[in-house]
Structure 1
Amino acid sequence: MALHFTTGEFENRRNRLIERMKEENLDALLLFAQESMYWLTGYDTFGYCFFQTLIVKSDGTMTLLTRSADLRQARQTSNIENITIWVDRLNADPTLDLKNLLSEMDLLGAKIGIEYDTHGMTGRVAKLLDNQLATFCQISDASYLVSGLRLVKSAEEVVYAKRAGELADDALDAALPLIRAGGNEAAILAAMQGAVFAGGGDYPANEFIIGSGQDALLCRYKAGRRTLEEKDQLTLEWAGVSAHYHAAMMRTIVIGTPDFRQKELYSASYENIIAIEEVLRPGKTFGDVFDTHARIMDERGLTRHRLNACGYSVGARFSPSWMEHQMFHAGNTQEILPDMTLFVHMIIMDSDSGTAMTLGQTYLTTTDAPISLSRHKLDLIAV
């Protein structure tokens, strides 16, 4: 068994979950989010692309229902003792296997919470599950119960978050010598991901974002590579990853001499992040962070060019996204607490002039001022 955390850490997490379940009067919880299973037990797989669920009873009993391909994976990477296999076959309905298993666990008529809002739950599975359990038990949406517990990081988790920050810095260090006129995005991307791997890190939960020229205005990954020109711009968004814990960063790098618009957008991005550092403290909310972002951008006449969010919580995540549910957007009442890992990003995409500017890094919150997990400064990078 290979676990990244101590027995005491896992016991504390399970006890916190049981306490929350009792507050919600839940007899059991069906976990479909891989990050929930990982946080609670250490279970590490991409087998969640198929049907699987971890059943957690209010007495702390846990049973994993999964496919045969993940049996050894669960035994090797988790502390789960009870593992049941559903069999791949023509017209298989694993939700029926699940209902039978819940019956064996004496949960007929129980109140059961379900993680619906996760990439580990397809629409088809949700329909099948609801159909099977409609008359079997009382079901409720418990999509954010575990994710809420995961927002505040333990001391053991912070170790991985800080290491992820170091790996993100290493990736930028590896990229910078290659960013020049004639440099190719393929080599830059390979160097960045290679630096994370060489440092003992993992694949990110989503692809690194790289784009130059007009593609620098995109904030999603796409296929295709480009060679940098004498006068160019390169947008990068990436993350260091350690034991699935992410520390993201973002930069738009100027190739050649920055023009007035690039400097103007950088100034707005920098001012914004410095202002947000004053807000990223206990007593404030995620909505307060966004309000600061929106105010500064709007005062500078950049309303049309900014996004409707300026960051989010990060932690241990699985593909297809390293973003947590809690984002910095309007009206989010989630309070900022100590020991959260929060990615703050400024993304300004001026399609009128074809100018991109981004700036971002991950912070660890404290009882006072936040701590950047990056050793790099927020200076405009021009090469």
Structure 2
Amino acid sequence: MALHFSRDEFASRLELVKARMKEEKLDALLIFAQESMYWLTGYDTFGYCFFQCLVVKADGQMVLMTRSADLRQARHTSIIEDIRIWVDRTNADPAQDLKNLLMDLDLLGSKIGVEYDTHGLTGLNARRLDHQLTSFGTSTDASYIISKLRLVKSAAEIEYAEKAAALSDDALDAALRLAKPGANEADILAAMQGAIFAGGGDYPSNEFIIGSGADALLCRYKAGRRNLDAVDQLTLEWAGVYAHYHAPMMRTVIVGTPNDRQKELYAASRDAIEAIETVLITGNTFGTVFDTHARIMDERGLAKHRLNACGYSVGARFSPSWMEHQMFHAGNPEPILPGMTLFVHMIIMDSETGTAMTLGQTYLITDGPVKSLSRHSLDLISV
């Protein structure tokens, strides 16, 4: 069995879930988010793109319903002992199979919480599920019960986050060894991901962002590679990953001598991140972080060039995104607490002048000052 955490830790997590279920008066929780299954049991797969569900009863009993391809995966990577298989077949309706399982678990007429807000439950399957539950019991949206419990990391989780951050630093080192006029983006990308694999890390939950020239203004991955010009800009966003725990970083590397606009945008980014570091403390909220970012950007006339969010909580995530639900955006009341691992990014994309500037890294919230998990400085990088 390949477990990344002790059985005692999994047991304590289950107690937290049971307590929240009791508060919500739930008889059962239907878990569809792969990161929730991983956090609660260690179960590690990519089979969640098909229908599967971990049923957790109020007394702590857990039953996984999945496909035959994931039977051994679940046995090998998790503490789940009761695994049921729904059969792939023409016109299969796994939601019907799930209802039959719930019947076997004596849950008819009960109050059932469902993780709806997840990539592990497609719209089609959610409709099927709702249809089956309509005459079975009372269902309610319980998407964020485990999501919120996962925000504050245990000591073991923090250790994995720190390992992930070290791999992020290694990836940046690998990129900077190659970044120069004439370098191909493909070689840089391969070196970054290779450094993470060589360090014992994993695939990220979404693609790394790499773009130069006009593509440096994109903050999403796209297909296609180019060679760097003698004067250029290279935007990179990546994450070291260890045991699925992510520690993202972001930089725009200047090829050649930085021009005045690049220096101006970098100064705004640096000042905003340093201001945010002072408010990443207990007593403030995720909204406080965004307000700090927006104030500095807007005071410098950059309102139309910035984004409407400046980071988010990170942890163990699965494709297609390493972002967790809690983001730094206007009005988010989520409190900042010790043990959180948070990615802060400044992204300024000036389409009028074709200038990109980004700066970002992952932080650990402590009982005192915030701790950067990167060994790299926030200095402007030019090559």
TM-score tier after normalising by the smaller chain length = over 0.9
Q: Which structure 2 residue ranges, 5 or more long, are not aligned?
A: none
Give the equivalent residue in structure 2 for 1:334: 334
The residue number in structure 2 matching 1:80 is 80
The equivalent of 2:105 in structure 1 is 105
Amino acid at match of 1:210: I
Q: Which amino acid aligns with 2:225?
A: R
The answer for the alignment partner of 1:160 in structure 2 is: 160
1:132 corresponds to: 132
Equivalent position of 2:363 in the other structure: 363
- Supply the AA of the counterpart residue of 1:289: V
Residues 233-312 of structure 1: matches in 2 within 5 Å?
A: 233-312=233-312
Could you tell me which residue of structure 2 aligns to residue 62 of structure 1? 62
Q: Distance in 1 between matches of 2:137 and 2:82?
A: 22
Q: Which residues of 2 match residues 339-358 of structure 1 at below 5 A?
A: 339-358=339-358
- How many residues of Structure 1 are paired with residues of Structure 2 in the alignment? 383
Whole-angstrom distance in 2 between the partners of 1:16 and 1:251? 38
Distance (Å, rounded) in 2 between the aligned partners of 1:84 and 1:156: 30
For each residue in 1:237-272, what CA deviation from the matched residue of structure 2 results, as whole angstroms up to 9, or x when unmatched? 000000000000000000000000000000000000
1:121-143 superposed Cα distances (whole Å, 9 cap, x missing partner): 10000100000010101000001
TM-score scaled to structure 2, two decimals? 1.00
CA distance in 2, matches of 1:164, 1:245: 6
**SS state of the match for residue 102, structure 2?**
helix
1:40 aligns with 2:58: no
Q: For 1:302-348, what per-residue CA distance to the aligned partner results, in whole angstroms no more than 9, with x for missing partners?
A: 00000000000000000000000000000000000001000000000
SS in 1 for 2:140: strand
The residue number in structure 2 matching 1:213 is: 213
SS at match of 1:54: strand
Partner Cα separation in structure 2 for residue 159 and residue 366 of structure 1: 14
Give me the whole-angstrom Cα distance separating, in 1, the residues matched to 2:340 and 2:258. Answer: 35
Output the CA distance in 1 between the equivalents of 2:238 and 2:370: 21
Question: Secondary structure at 2:17's aligned position in 1?
Answer: helix
Q: Deviations over 1:98-119 (max 9, x none)?
A: 0000000000000000000000
Tell me which amino acid in the other structure corresponds to 2:55. I
Deviation, structure 1 residue 23: 0.4
CA RMSD of superposed structures (Å): 0.3
List per-residue Cα deviations over 1:344-383 (Å, max 9, x = no partner): 0000000000000000000000012110010000000000
CA distance in 2, matches of 1:216, 1:369: 33
Q: How much has 1:177 moved relative to structure 2?
A: 1.2
CA distance in 2, matches of 1:83, 1:165: 35
**CA drift at 1:66:** 0.2
Question: What secondary structure does 1:316 align onto?
Answer: coil
1:330 and 1:11 mapped to 2: Cα distance? 36
Q: Does 1:96 align with 2:104?
A: no
Report how far residue 215 of structure 1 moved.
0.2
Shift of 1:210: 0.2
**How far, CA to CA, are the matches of 2:285 and 2:369 in structure 1?**
14
Q: Aligned partners of 2:368, 2:354: CA distance in 1, in Å?
A: 39
Aligned residue type for 2:218? L
Structure 1 regions of 5+ residues with no counterpart?
A: none
Distance 1:134 1:297 in 2: 49
**Distance in 2 between the 1:26 and 1:374 partners?**
41
2:149 aligned with 1:188: no
Kindly provide the CA deviation profile for residues 265-320 of structure 1, in whole angstroms up to 9, marking residues without a partner as x.
00000000000000100000000000000000000000000000000000000000
Identity %: 74
Whole-Å separation in 1 of the counterparts to 2:179 and 2:293: 29
Structure 2: how far apart are the matches of 1:96 and 1:291? 47
Within 1, Cα distance between the matches of 2:368 and 2:323? Answer: 24
